[in-house]
């Protein structure tokens, strides 16, 4: 078992918290889903413990203790949640195996909110945090906000996000990430097309 680890040396392994919902931030722990080699941001139990802390889902204000088995279960759940959101966005029914896994996780005791300096409490903090994330996903896909979930238009990115813009025309997971890259690429493309004087 392990507690939290230091932030990753590779900035690409930093957790993006730009989805607008805990479940979307959780599925973002696997990046570049469309690439031949996706980016695993949960390579070990310490990384999952760090995600719980950074997502503010650590119970009792303490680092969550995570086992290798917890990590395997969390990754399986993450992928089931991703498929649930994607199929729901497409108006399709989720796979029965995913429904079973998600319902099982959502039925576990989740984090109990607390007043005072400790935000959450739980008997099994790792499982409770995952139950909280899973319930968030179920509520999202069964509610009116599903139609506002989008995938970033950057072909090298696969992050899902809740479009909370007033016009509902957001195209990028974040202007600081993919939106800025698109603007720079567009500028360079236009600059190359301008004849030299």
Which of 63-67, 89-93, 164-168 is least confident? Answer: 164-168
Spell out the residues 6+ positions from residue 141 whose beta carbon is closer than 8 angstroms to its own.
84, 85, 88
Q: Comparing C-alpha atoms, which of 7, 9, 20 is closest to residue 160?
A: 20
Query: In which element (H, E) is residue 160 found?
Result: strand 160-162
DSSP state of 128: H
| pLDDT tens, residue by residue, 95-126 | 999 999 999 999 999 999 999 888 999 999 99
DSSP state of 90: T
Helix (H) or strand (E) holding 150: strand 149-151
Q: CA-CA distances (angstroms) from residue 22 to 130, 135, 152, 187?
A: 10, 10, 17, 34
């Amino acid at each position: 078992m392990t507690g939290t680890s230091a932030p990753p040396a590779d900035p690409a392994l930093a957790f993006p918290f730009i989805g607008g919902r805990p479940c979307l931030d959780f599925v973002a722990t696997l990046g570049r889903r469309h690439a031949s080699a996706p980016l695993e941001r949960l390579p070990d139990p310490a990384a999952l413990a760090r995600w719980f802390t950074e997502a503010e889902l650590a119970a009792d204000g303490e680092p969550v203790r995570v086992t290798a088995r917890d990590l395997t279960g969390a990754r399986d759940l993450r992928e089931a949640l991703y498929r649930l959101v994607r199929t729901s966005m497409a108006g399709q029914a989720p796979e029965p195996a995913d429904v079973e896994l998600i319902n099982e996780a959502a039925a576990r005791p989740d984090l109990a909110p607390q007043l005072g300096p400790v935000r959450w409490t739980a008997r099994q903090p790792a499982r409770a945090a995952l139950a909280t994330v899973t319930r968030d996903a179920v509520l999202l896909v069964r509610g009116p906000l599903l139609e506002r979930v989008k995938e970033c238009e950057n072909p090298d990115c696969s992050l899902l996000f809740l479009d909370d813009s007033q016009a509902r025309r957001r195209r990028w997971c974040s202007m600081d990430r993919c939106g800025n890259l698109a603007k720079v690429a567009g500028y360079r493309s236009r600059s190359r097309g301008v004849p030299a004087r």
